[in-house]
Every structure is written in C-alpha cells, then in structure tokens.
Amino acid sequence: MIQDIFDRGELEAEVGQTAFPALRLAHRLSPEAIRDLIEQAGLVGKGGAGFPTCRKLALMQRQPDAVKYVVINGGEHEPGSGKDHHLLEHYPITVLEGALILAHAASAGVLHIALLQTAERAIENLKNAVRLLKEDSLSKCAPEVRISVVSESYIVGEESALLEVLSGRDPLPRQRPPHPVQAGLDGRPTLVQNVETVSHLPYIVLYGAASYRALSPAGAGVTLCTFGPEFVKEGVCLVPLGISLRDVLTIYGGGLKSGKKIKAVQPGGYSAGFLTNAELDVCFDHAPLREAGSALGCGVIRAFDEDQDMVSVAADVMDFFRQSCCGQCPGCRMQTQVLSRIMDQTLAGRGSEKLTRQVPVVIKANEDKGICGFIHMPAAPALSILKKFDEDFVRHFEVSTDKVVRE
C-alpha cells in the first residue's frame, strides 16, 4: 500500500498538527526554489497532457506583468474520471494548500478554482477550506481566492476554453499564440493547472523530492487512476509510476470482474490508443506509453475482455468525439462526423475494408487544422483499434457481404 500523500494526518504530523504546514514552509522558500523542487520531483500535469509542471511554472515566472492569475481546473471533464472529485470531496484542504503553494511560486494575486456546477459537496468542502484559511494568519499574505462553477461540457476542460468561460463567454478554445501564460484572464499571464497536480505539492514541499520519487519502486513518483466498473477494485486509487501496466491492472485494479482474459486496454481515457494483452508489460508512465502508441492521460483506465466486440467500442469512442466537438473548426467538425459515421456503418453491417481505409486518410487530411488539441484526439484510438483488432472489423464486413448476397 502506497502512503496516502493527500491525507491531512500524514501531512500535519510532519510538523505537529499545524494547519497548512506545507504552505508555511513554502512561504520561506523563493518561487525559484519551489520550481526547482518540483523539477527534482519530476511532477507533470495530471490533467492529461503530462507537461512538466516546472516548465509551465518557469514560463509563468518569466512574465513581467505585475498582475498574474492561477486557475485550478477541477471540472474533471474526462468521461469516467473520478480523481479530482475524490480529492475535492475527501482532501479539500490539501487541494487548497497545493493551489496556494503554486500561486506563491507564480507570484499570482488571484487564485481561481473552477468546479463543476453539479459538484455541490465538493464546492461546499472547498468553501469550508477557504474559511479555515481566512481564520489563519496565513490569510494576510494569501492571494484572493475565487471559486467558480462551470458546465460539464467536455471542451471546457481545454484550458483556453475554460478561461473563456471564466470570462463570461462561450466555451470556445482560443487561437494561440498568445498562450494563457502570456495573456489569459483579463489579458494577464495565467497559469492553468489541474486539481490533482497541485494536490501533490504539499507532500513534495514537506517531505522533499527524493521522498516523493521513492513512493514508486522505479523512483518515478505516483499518480491517481480511476479504474472502470469492469475492474474488481473499481474507483480511484493511488498508483506508482514506472511499474508495468499489467501490474497496475492486476495489483491495483484487481483484474476484471468477469474473470476473463483482457483483450484490450485504454490506459488514459478516450483519446488514448488501444493496447493489446501482449503489450501490457509496457512501463506505466507518460513517455513509454506514448512510444507504445497510447497515453497515460488523466489515468482513466478502461479494459475490455476477450468477448468484447471492439467495433462497438470504436463506434462508442468516435460518437463521443463527434458529440464533444465544439464545432468551431470546420476540419475538426468534419473529421469527428466522418469517423463516427464510418464506425457506425461498420457496426450496423454496412461497412467494408474500402470504407475503413478512409480513416487514416481523413485523419491525415485534417492534421493541424484545429485551434486546439481536440482535433488530434480521435486519431490514436481510431488508428490503433483498426490495426490491432482487424478480425473484429472483418466479421462485420462479412455480415455486410452476406446482406448484399441475400439482397
């Protein structure tokens, strides 16, 4: 069992039950020292992209503006993800403390925390944590804390779309450059980070980078994962990075409830490429999973047993992207609609090898034609599922051929 790095008992025991102990220590450190500590810990963003937290912070620190913002994204718009909600419900003080540490390191005068409008308990818990801060002497040097609510629309999870919402506009991603760290809210430098990312900071500040890395036998730190309902141990779990994906599934996920052999895995949510059972010995970390054609993303782990029709899965994933597209970019809109239609037709027995050969053509034609990264998201799941589970598609092609013969 991994040490619970978010637990207040663990964190406050280090300094004798003092409220916000990591924040007190952070205030004795320079912003540059905190950035170096984050770099030594190897912490990366937990919202999906896995971008090094220290590099994003360094970009923010280089901005000369006197007014800066930090925005914490707690909307958790990835389907199946429960980690941020878990932290906000059970460890709201740790979330707030980590956000305040980041705001201090970024020299930000305003801290925005965005939550889903339906997360009533999380909102109340966070408000209680802010009230606790106001009763503490630390409040004198704390930034202004604003709690905002956002919709469940998937595109709101994109950082520039989130900033649009917080500015009172429609959730449409912005053209970049400028990037949010250059011109975000009110045209000011704005650092956007995920709830889980900042929740790791109190432990790192109190215990040090080496202790944080040592939480993993590979010296790579930890991450929260959400195991789908198909797993014996479904739900949110803290998992060490650097072990094999197979160990993640069996030790921390408990294997499948069905007891059947795993046929396919998406280790990082809907935009991650599919992996076969033969590929499960890959190292569970961002770089190795990318090299394997998949992604760690925000740690939403989906697994499918040997009886699963992967064409049905493909149709579900492509339909999700079709529905989630904001429609702002013609290329993205066209791509998501066409990919969804191809998979739906194949599932309905009206597909063919000629039809599915259009998938890579459509993806290539629309490469880099979107304002944000959403246009790239359907590519890995669509291409990997076609390549690795072609037998499932062939069975549907045979159904299509039989229909033609009968007619």
pLDDT in tens, 70-94: 999 998 889 999 999 999 999 999 9
Band of the pLDDT at 14, cuts 50, 70, 90? low
Name residue 283's beta-bridge partners: 244
297-352, pLDDT tens digit by residue? 999 999 999 999 999 999 999 999 999 999 999 999 999 999 999 999 999 999 99
Residue 296 pLDDT > 80: yes
What's the pLDDT at 17?
A: 62
Q: What pLDDT score was predicted for residue 399?
A: 65
Q: What's the CA gap between 35 and 58, in Å, rounded?
A: 7
* pLDDT at position 404: 41
What CA–CA distance (Å, rounded) separates 179 from 62?
A: 13
Q: What is the pLDDT of residue 405?
A: 36
Mean pLDDT, residues 221-237 taken together: 98
Q: What confidence score (pLDDT) does residue 406 get? A: 42
Q: What is the predicted pLDDT for the residue at 11?
A: 83
What percent of the chain has a predicted confidence (pLDDT) above 70? 96
Q: Inter-axis angle of helices 358-365 and 330-347, to 10 degrees?
A: 170
32: left (phi over 0), alpha (psi -120 to 50) or beta: alpha
- In this prediction, residues 377-387 reach a mean pLDDT of 97
pLDDT digits 0-9 by tens, 89-140? 999 999 999 999 999 999 999 999 999 999 999 999 999 999 999 999 999 9
Whether 360 shows a pLDDT value over 70: the answer reads yes
Average pLDDT of 380-401? 89
pLDDT at 320: 97
> Is pLDDT of 267 > 60?
yes
For residue 17 the two structure tokens come to 């039950």
Contacts of 30 (CB under 8 A, 6+ apart): none
Check pLDDT > 60 for residue 401: no
* Residue-wise pLDDT tens digits, 162-201: 999 999 999 999 999 999 999 999 999 999 999 999 999 9
| Domains and their CATH numbers in the chain | 8-210 (3.40.50.11540), 216-305 (3.10.20.600), 310-406 (1.20.1440.230)
Give the pLDDT score at 381: 98
Mean pLDDT in the chain?
94
- The token pair at 93 is 């003080």
15: pLDDT strictly greater than 70:
no
pTM of the model: 0.95
Measure CA 317 to chain center. Answer: 17
Percentage of the residues of the chain whose pLDDT score is greater than 90: 90
- Mean pLDDT (whole number) for 49-56: 94
**Quick check: 407 pLDDT over 50?**
no
